[in-house]
Amino acid sequence: MTGILGYARVSTGDQDVGGQTLRLTQAGAIKVFTDVRSGRSMDRPGLAALLDYARTGDTLAVVRLDRLGRSLAELLAMITMLKNRGIALLSLEEKIDTSSAAGELVFHVFGAIAHFERRLIAERTKDGIAAARVRGKLPGRQPLDADQISAALKLVAAGLSPTNAAHQVGLGRSTVYREIKRTGLQRPL
């Protein structure tokens, strides 16, 4: 027997999944799985449990697509995985249902737009690097100034803290610590 399985997610414990759960239940969800996790985290035990529970012919329902993935690429990967398993996706807010041909078309259009956007960004980056080279600028992180590093290491050797030494010579604190480690400098106690 197939059914609608709901997935509700909130980012923090201060938020409540109750509103999402109610809407999913009203949409026909026979069971709702929940997570209290940031969208950045792909460690979502509730979603994993839903995917373990789901069978071919089931529908995964969410209130909004952003509850399922934080980027279009994540969503498209999820849709592909669901499709391969014979599971449809229903988004209540966006009114997308991949069990229909129109819903699947919408996702393919989203995918094409995401691919186009990635290509545009790559082309703009490539053009920007080429323009910078023409102006005589080297893209990327600039090489460290050997005199600054030497001065910072001398200050540390004289007893100044790496943080203060970095501040004095205009370097980042992590740069000074990295150079201390690289050179094996013993700091005075």
Instruction: Report the distance separating Cα 66 and Cα 105, nearest Å.
Output: 19
- Show pLDDT as tens, one digit a residue, over the chain (189 residues): 679 999 999 887 778 888 899 999 999 999 999 988 776 667 889 999 999 999 999 999 999 888 887 777 788 888 889 989 999 999 998 888 888 888 878 877 876 777 787 788 889 989 988 888 898 888 777 788 889 999 999 999 998 999 999 999 999 999 999 999 988 887 765
Is 100 a catalytic site residue? no
Collapse the DSSP code of 17 into the 3-class scheme (helix H, G, I; strand E, B; otherwise coil) and give the result.
coil
Largest CA distance in the chain: 76
pTM: predicted TM-score of the whole model, two decimal places:
0.59
Q: DSSP characters for 31-74?
A: EEEEEE--TT----HHHHHHHHH--TT-EEEESSGGGT-SSHHH
DSSP run (H or E) holding 88 = strand 88-91
Q: Supply the pLDDT for residue 96.
A: 85
Q: Supply the pLDDT for residue 137.
A: 84
